Amino acid sequence: MKTRLLDMTYGAVFCASASYLFWVSIATGTGASRISSDPMWYPQVLLVLLAICSGFLVLRGVLSRDTTRARALECWPPLIVMTASAIYLVLFERVGLVPTSMVLIPVVSWLLGFRRPVVLAAIAIGFTCAVWYGFYYLINITPPGPALPTLNG
């Protein structure tokens, strides 16, 4: 299979799954309520970003002139990402941002082949803290779940 066809296939699968999960989250969300009272808005933002990145992957496949052969199409990477997105969407509201992100980011990265434990831990901790403190201080919203300590004591 050509690399460009692989990009288009994976991109289409990711875009379709992100769109479906976004649609499901809209159907079960709190409607037109304020953002601060809708716990689904952050996973919805992530799903929109996933769909946009998937669109770029499809576009890269369409515009590519690469004729090298890629490995055979593997179905497990898209399945891992789709399953992790669904798990994140469900657990975000029930368990919270911090535990869900701290567990799913390194697990998914490990399953997709990234094998540097120190980097995985640093990314999980850094991303989770940046997002949590960004919500808390920039948007004045406390994400669901256990809170991190405030920076101003």
pLDDT along the chain (153 residues), means of 10: 77 86 70 57 79 86 78 76 86 90 91 88 92 84 86 69
What is the model's pLDDT at position 32? 46
Cβ atoms of 119 and 95 closer than 8 Å: no
Tokens of 87: 């798990």
pLDDT of residue 153: 58
What is the structure's pLDDT at 58?
86
pTM, full prediction: 0.60
Give the tokens for residue 106: 């390194």
Asked whether the beta carbons of 129 and 148 are under 8 A apart, the reply is: yes
pLDDT value of residue 98: 93
pLDDT of 36: 53
Three-state DSSP at 31 gives coil
With beta carbons less than 8 A apart as the criterion, state whether 74 and 58 touch.
no
pLDDT at 99: 94
pLDDT at 7: 81
Residue type, 85: S
